[in-house]
Amino acid sequence: MAMATSSSFGASLSRVSTWKPTFSARLASQKSTLRLFPISSEMHLSSGPVVSASPPQKKVLVPIGFGNEEIEVVVLVDILRRAGADVLVASVEEKLQVEFSRRVKMVADTHISSCDEEKFDLIALPGGMPGSARLQECQLLKKMTIEQAEQQKLVGAISTSPAFPLLEWGVLEARMATCHPGFTDKLSPTFMTKAKVQTDGCVTTSRGPGTVFDFALSFVEQLYGEEKRNEVLKPLVLPSRNQQETLKSEFNPLNWKAAAVPQVLVPVATGSEEMEAIIIIDVLRRANMKVVVASVEEDLQIEASRKVRIVADKRIEDVKDSCFDIIVLPGGMPGAEKLHNCKTLKKILQRQVKEQRPIGAICAAPAVILEANGWLKGKKATCHPTFAEKLSKRRLVKSRVVLDGYTITSQGPGTAMEFALCIVDKFFGKERARNIANGLVFEYP
């Protein structure tokens, strides 16, 4: 039944032949056309609906509940908003503020009860446990998602959500699907694939935090077309199709020492890049590092660069006398400038440099904060390509992650996973980093 085809990127994709899976009798009577969205060499697709080429704006629902996976939520929201979609984040809990699986707290835009009469071009369910179970328990979301699929409008689910809400609600009936490797036993072997992203008809599924960029970009293409996908893709600094970039370059290697539980500070501000901040926090907490998220604003709640509302653990003033094994600075603008202008954070960073403890910075932060304060003097570093001119040519290295002594820098949202795993590697070793990467469904060499 499966056959191979050569994509425009030269990668081999498998797809299901012209046989059409059905969701209900109504679906069986509707015609579908084959579409391929070749995001990666491991993305598999089958028959799918024709999507309008140039709509003015698409409306997307991302429901969230206690215990959802924060990386999956934030990457979906950020990338679809970059594409111009009107993304509504709706809580299935009583309150708008929701705590995710790695204790990141986010404030939803609205409650799911206010979405009953809304029409969406896409409903995308993040995974994580017990988050997927919380989504499954929401009867209104069940009703909306089933109706969405019956109308042949786009539905997506990632990680544990294909195996829980979609499977239990009957949305995956006779559809090829994928999910997190830890939950594949719940899917029918006949219809289960190991693809990073699997599209069958109007339903797209994916595997986990490490595949969420491909997952989100597949929706950009399905909603807006390939040109828009390429436009959104470029500034993310994801690996190229042939993955020829150097992952990591290390200069003046030193051993990073810490207490049994390394103490980490991640400062955030209005305009910080939410994907970078959340990926760093999530991955380091998976490594059992004690991560404190500190707001440099007056309030604990900050609005990140793509309007995601994150609630910090503390204000920066509350940690000014604390000692940290590493301080990690997310990028994003004007977030990086706000971090740079925070006098309290500057004093904390000055003490960190003086006492020769590690500092990390990603995206705009190496140029806007570290270079501007002279903390990269005599060191090699990298940053987002749009800020490269702010670094000395003798200093700039184009690797995705650059280490020099007690400094680690990286390029952008698409390198944040490698960046965070390199930090885990430095403190705990490669085996721990690889174990965490496996849980993320991400390859760490």
- Give the max Cα distance, the chain: 70
DSSP 39-78: SSTTEEE-EE----S--S--EEEEEE-TT--HHHHHHHHH
The reply to whether 384 belongs to the active site is: yes
Pairing of strands 105-107, 33-34: unpaired
Of the candidates 149, 429, 102, the residue with the CA atom closest to the CA atom of residue 284: 102
Active-site residue, selected from the candidate residues 69, 384, 418, 422: 384
The reply to whether 276 belongs to the active site is: yes
What span, in angstroms and rounded, lies between the C-alpha atoms of 257 and 319?
21
Active-site residue, selected from the candidate residues 69, 70, 276, 418: 276
Whether the CB-CB separation of 56 and 88 falls below 8 Å is answered with no
Q: What sign results for the dihedral spanned by CA atoms 85, 383, 440, 178? A: positive
What span, in angstroms and rounded, lies between the C-alpha atoms of 103 and 100?
5
Paired with 56 in beta bridges are none
Whether the CB-CB separation of 233 and 40 falls below 8 Å is answered with no
DSSP 107-126: E-SEEGGGGTT---SEEEE-
Active-site residue, selected from the candidate residues 363, 371, 418, 422: 363
Whether the CB-CB separation of 61 and 115 falls below 8 Å is answered with yes
Report which DSSP code applies to 131: H
Q: Measured between alpha carbons, how far is residue 394 from residues 365, 373, 379, 398, 419 in Å?
A: 18, 17, 9, 11, 22
What span, in angstroms and rounded, lies between the C-alpha atoms of 150 and 412?
38
Of the candidates 317, 324, 307, the residue with the CA atom closest to the CA atom of residue 85: 307
What span, in angstroms and rounded, lies between the C-alpha atoms of 313 and 315?
7
* Residues marked as catalytic: 276, 363, 384
